[in-house]
Structure formats: structure tokens, C-alpha cells
Amino acid sequence: MKPLFLTQEIGSIQRPAWRQKLNDSPHDAWIRDALFWGERLEVPERIELVSPEGKGLLQKDGARRSDPEKERIVAIASLYVLRLFEQVGLDRVFNGEQPRTEMYDFLAKQTEGIEFAGVLNSFDANYFRKGVLAAPVHVKPEGVEFFAREFQFVKHHTQKTVKPCLTGPYTMADWSYIEYPRAQREKKGETPPEAWTHGRRDAILDFAEHVLNPIVRRLASEGAQIIQIDEPAASTNEQESDVFVEAMNASFEGVPENVEKAIHLCYSNYPALFPALADGVADTYLIEFTNHASPAHFKPDQVSPEAFKAIELFNEYKMEVNVGLGVIDIHSDVLETPEVVKDRLLYAAKLLGDPSRVQVNPDCGLRTRSWEVAYAKLRNMVEGARLARKEWGE
């Protein structure tokens, strides 16, 4: 029997300054923060960061840290986040993407055929370098190895189910300048508008086949039971829902049936993806529900029927998929109470008619919030799921 209201993280969590600024000189506030969270999360490795003798990795007197020292700081930051997820009681965990940079930038760095252009601001005041597709894209061998090592590191340090997350092919193409695919189409005699439209489709599918699919297959071979692909750009162009679904299917091509295929559709215009989405191979769709409704229809202490209309689409198209219910708003420090979380879960379960198809997560990655707020939000989310199970009668 499938578990009811399974809880999980959804992506990244804020990288602390002591992990992010690896080349900077020691800072007392960073040391206090690392020590505080290391003790609170009961991470023995904190002593490597801050030692009683003042020789920890964060206490070097002006000397530049070596590459192995930087790698160890990142590894310990991953353990901090992993323990945070475990301590609040999540069923599925990862590393909060601590070893990575921005979601586009990091995968772009693992991809041949991309040259970097200017710097753009992402939604939460972080920055990434936009790439130019200057040649055919394919993932670098060392990129595949990175994701395999990252997965094995987390798996080695937890008894929980490990859920790796990857930026999807549609978003990678949409956030790039598609110069090479467009130029190739123009060489075939297509007009500039035709070349842009068809070149864009080529880029999306090339990312799926030559970048995402090799990584996904490798993660499956390493023992991943669930793999999540993140697609914040999914409904950017309503005319491309068919190629979006084709790219999703190509990304999961060859993955065993016992591996759960999850797609995170953060902040999308969900109706625009239908009916094409009904032909997708995904088992699970992780969707924003908390922040989706307009302020006129949504209050933090209420269930908003408007926000749950996406479930009606799954029902309409008879898609027997799992729904990752975004019950936590990542754009606010307001703490959703366990009772509110419970109500949202039970409401979704009634709409789907099967509580085992309801999974529980924030709307998106909690990197927009401090660790203190993220911890409290996730703890309330887990408690809300427990209350929902109890009320449903599990």
C-alpha cells in the first residue's frame, strides 16, 4: 500500500555565507552561524569548520583555502541541509543543492556547446550568466560523474529516500540564446521567423536527448528511486506544450518503470500545458498551490478552491498521476500552521479521490527564506501531513 501524504523537499535551500563565499577571509558572523546550526542539527562534522583550537576550515587566518578544503566545506554544508531535512521529518531528502550554483548556470557549465554571455538577475536576487548555444549541446562526461557522486554522497549519509533534482530541457533552452540551432535552420533556407521557431524546438529536444537523458539514466543506474526534473519555464510559450511534453518524455527515455519520474512545474500557467500533458510519461507532477491564487481569493489560513483547479485538469484528462501539493509559500516568512496544511491536503485528496496520490511539498525551493524560517515551515508541513493521515484514518 502506498503511503499517504508523503513529504519531501522540492529543490534548493539557501546557501549560507560560509559556504557561498569560499574565497573570502574569515568572518565572525559566519563562524557563529556554522557553529549554531551544526550544534542544533547535531552534525559532528561541524568541528572541521570551527574547532576549539581555532584551526577549523572557517578559521584560517587570511590564507586562501585549497580546493580540497573548499570541497569539504561544501560537503559539510550538504550534511547540514540533509540533517535539517531529516530533523524536521521529511520522507524524501536531498542536499538542498548546496554543491551547485544557480539552477541554469550550474547545468550550463556541465554542457558542451554553450558559451556564456551577460549576467542576468533571477527572481530572488541571485544572478546567473546566460548562455549562447554556439554548437551542438551534450553533457560533459565529468558532468554526469558529478551528479552521480552527488547522489551517492547523500545516499551514503541517510536512510531516507534520496530525490535528486535537475533543471529541465525546456528551461535550459528557454533561458539560452539559441544561435547555433537557429543558424542551422537558416542554412536550410528557412526564413528568420521559421528558423527561430524550429531552432528553438531543436534546442529543447537536444537538451533532452543529449544533456538530461544521460544524467537521468546514470542516476537510475546508481539506484535513484525517484528523479525530479524542474521546469519553471514550462508554459512560457503556449504554442510549445507539445514539444515540452516530447522533451520530458525524451529526458526519461530508457529509465526503468520502477523509478518514479517527477516533474516540478513551478509557477506555470497549467491550463496552457493541456491536452499535451496527458501524453507525458511522468508519474508525479509537483505543483504550486499556495501562491497560485490571487490575493482576492486566498488567505494564509484558508483553502483556496481557485488554487486547486489544476487537479480538475488531471481529473478531466483521466491522468492517474501523483500530485505534489505545494502547501508552503516560499515568498513569505508567514508560517502556515499544521492545521492549514492538513486542510489543504484533505481538500486535494477529496478532489483526486485517492489520498495515496497526494504528496506534500513547498511550492518551490526554499532558497528564498532563511534556514530558521525554512526549518519552521517544513516542520509545520510535516506535522500537517501527520494530522491529515490521522484524520483520514491511516
**Which pLDDT belongs to residue 62?**
66
Q: What secondary structure letter does DSSP report for 324?
A: E
Cell representation of residue 158:
541517510
Average pLDDT on 232-237 reads: 92
**Which pLDDT belongs to residue 123?**
56
pLDDT digits (tens, 9 = 90+) for 198-230: 999 999 999 999 999 999 999 999 999 999 999
Mean pLDDT, the chain, as a whole number? 92
**Which pLDDT belongs to residue 304?**
57
End-to-end distance of the chain based on CA atoms, in angstroms?
A: 11
Torsion of the alpha carbons at 268, 271, 275 and 281, rounded to the nearest 10: 30
pLDDT digits (tens, 9 = 90+) for 303-355: 556 568 889 999 999 999 999 999 999 999 999 999 999 999 999 999 999 99
Question: CA–CA separation, 155 vs 163, rounded Å?
Answer: 9
Q: Give every strand in the sheet of 260-265, ordered side by side.
A: 6-7, 358-362, 322-328, 284-288, 260-265, 226-230, 165-167
Does an H or E element contain 167, and which?
strand 165-167
Cell representation of residue 153:
554522497
pLDDT digits (tens, 9 = 90+) for 10-20: 989 999 999 99
Q: Are strands 127-139 and 111-121 parallel, antiparallel or unpaired?
A: antiparallel
Cell representation of residue 133:
548555444
Count of Cβ atoms closer than 10 Å to residue 125 Cβ: 7
Contact predicate 115/131, CB 8 Å: yes
CA nearest to 84, candidates 18, 36, 28, 20: 36
pLDDT digits (tens, 9 = 90+) for 152-168: 999 999 999 999 999 99
* Number of DSSP helices (H) and strands (E) in the chain, helices first: 14, 11
**Which pLDDT belongs to residue 297?**
42
pLDDT digits (tens, 9 = 90+) for 15-52: 999 999 998 888 899 999 999 999 999 999 999 999 88
**Residue 389 CB burial class (10 angstroms; 0-12, 13-18, ≥19):** middle
Torsion of the alpha carbons at 351, 287, 361 and 156, rounded to the nearest 10: 130
Domains by residue range for the chain, with CATH: 100-282 (3.20.20.210), 283-394 (no CATH)
**Which pLDDT belongs to residue 165?**
97
**Which pLDDT belongs to residue 298?**
44
CA angle 391, 315, 237 (to 5 degrees): 120
**Which pLDDT belongs to residue 300?**
47
Is the alpha carbon torsion for 282, 283, 287, 289 positive or negative? Answer: positive
pLDDT digits (tens, 9 = 90+) for 248-272: 999 999 999 999 999 999 878 899 9
HSE value, Cβ hemisphere, 13 Å, CA-based, for 54:
4
Query: How far lies 364's CA from each of 9, 20, 287, 342, in Å?
Result: 9, 21, 8, 19
Contact predicate 174/233, CB 8 Å: yes
pTM of the model: 0.94
Contact predicate 326/341, CB 8 Å: no
**Which pLDDT belongs to residue 78?**
98
HSE value, Cβ hemisphere, 13 Å, CA-based, for 134:
11
Range name among 76-85, 101-110, 121-130, 284-293 with the lowest pLDDT average: 121-130
pLDDT digits (tens, 9 = 90+) for 108-151: 999 999 999 877 666 554 667 889 999 999 999 999 999 999 99
Cell representation of residue 245:
511534453
